[in-house]
Chains A and B, each alone.
Chain A
Amino acid sequence: MPQNEDEQFQAYLKSFEPLSADPLPVMAETRRLPRSVLTLAAAAAMIAFGILAGVRDWKSAEVPNPSVAVRAPHPQVKPLTLARANTLLSQSQSFKASLDEIATNSTPLKFSEGQQSALVVLGKEKKL
């Protein structure tokens, strides 16, 4: 058989490429590693977030929020004076409504030592 033909035949055989081998199991695991690391990192982040949220809730439960606990003063609440009582009685549609207004939206006046409220004095005189 001529050598040239032999070489041609060998070249023809070489044109058939062996099928590629399946990946090594170790190589496949190495490719998966970053994914598992990401999963672990995500789980760790979720646990850390949960712990922080828990601590924050626990602290907020321990110290009451002053904005909720302290009742803001009603803007319409005014000290009860004789003049205001007269005004309320004259402006209200009924006597009962004026009494309700006095009872709910009035604060007692603060007096220095020796002073008294005129209403308190009149009230005492009325009782007698």
Chain B
Amino acid sequence: MTDTTNIESLYRQHGAALVLFAAAMTGDRSRAQDAVHQVFLNLIANGNLIQASDTKAYLFASVRNAVLNDIKARGRHVTLEAEIPWFMPPDRDHAAEKHLQRALREIPDDQRQIVVLHIWGDLTFSQIAAVLNINSNTAASRFRYAIGKLRELMTIREKRNATE
């Protein structure tokens, strides 16, 4: 199997989670998609497959760097209204998808990144620590705090919708 085929296989495997992670950082899915494309096209152009011991953590770290460079160059663009969905909701519950996306946007950036990396990226806390250059205990505690906050936000919205 060629390196390009390997890289394409990695893209099919992790592309969706990587784009979600980038969208959680930028607030803009199309910019997130561009950042992920840029990372993979660079990998293909360089001609050699990732030499890192942890390929998945390396990919997430590369996407994070690409997004940070993009934010530095163009500035952050966070849309207030979540018009473009990030998820395929269970039972096509698009209202729940909007609730989740809004709740994610309301928690701090670092916590949002950790939630996305752990829940949808399937990264362990030590992998998350490597990606974000933080301590793994810090990653775990921030995750717990973020989950509590998310749950609270989503419960409030559900109650509000029930009373309306």
Contact = CB atoms under 8 A, between A and B. Distances in A.
Contacts of B151: 1, 6, 9
Contacts of B119: 10, 13-14
A15 interface: yes
Interface string A1-44: 10000100110011111111110111100100000000000000
Question: Which range holds the interface residue count of chain B?
Answer: 20 to 34
A76 B130 CA distance: 107
A42 to B, nearest CB: 27
Interface string B8-37: 100100011111100000000100010011
B67 interface: no
Question: Which range holds the interface residue count of chain A?
Answer: 10 to 19
A18 B41 contact: no
Task: Tell me whether chain B's interface is mostly helix, strand or loop, or mixed.
Answer: helix
A22 B140 CA distance: 31
B37 A24 contact: yes
B97 A9 contact: no
B85 A19 contact: yes
Nearest to B143: A10
Nearest to B14: A21
B19 A6 contact: no
Interface in B51-96: 85-90, 96
A15 B150 CA distance: 15
Given A9-B151, A13-B100, A14-B119, 4 more contacts: A16-B96, A20-B15, A24-B8, A24-B41
